[in-house]
Amino acid sequence: MSKLATQPPDFDEEFTKAIAEWRGKHRLKEDEAVLLLVELFRIHQRHWDELRRREIPAFGEFRADIGKLADAARTFQVQSSALLEAIRDQPLGNRSVRITRTAAIFAALACLLGGYLIGRAWR
């Protein structure tokens, strides 16, 4: 790999040239307060750039993680399909007996009639 591919471009030199031109244009001395603020900004920017470099993974790592995630998704899909097939192939076994609506209505009427008759007998 070339040196440019491994290191990000350094804009520090361009920034320094721009500051020198700006100082010349506005006739600022070396110890002007605004130049101290510019220097403080540069320190701040370097600090945050370094923090971002530490926190953001390299593209190769990111690509490897995406590959692992895709493999895991494929494996999950294959295994879930196999599980669904195994469940479909299982014998139905003890199915609960389905009760029709008509049978339920007759049972409810029989219970009501039985309750009414028991209630009359207790009087």
Q: How many CB atoms are located within 10 Å of the residue 51 CB?
A: 10
What's the pLDDT at 4? 47
19 Cβ contact partners less than 8 Å away, ≥ 6 residues apart: 35, 38
pLDDT at 17 over 90: no
Residue 90 within any structural domain of the chain: no
pTM: 0.35
Residue 1 within any structural domain of the chain: no
**Conformational region of residue 27, where left means phi above 0, alpha means psi within -120 to 50, and beta covers everything else:** left
Residue 62 within any structural domain of the chain: no
The predicted-structure confidence for 58-71, as pLDDT tens digits, reads as follows 778 888 888 999 99
pLDDT at 1 over 50: no
What's the pLDDT at 43? 86
Number of folded domains in the chain?
1
What's the pLDDT at 90? 79
Could you tell me the residue range of the domain that residue 47 belongs to? 8-57
Q: Could you give the CA distance from residue 121 to residue 118 in angstroms, rounded to a whole number?
A: 5
The predicted-structure confidence for 42-92, as pLDDT tens digits, reads as follows 888 888 888 888 877 777 888 888 899 999 999 999 999 999 998 888 777
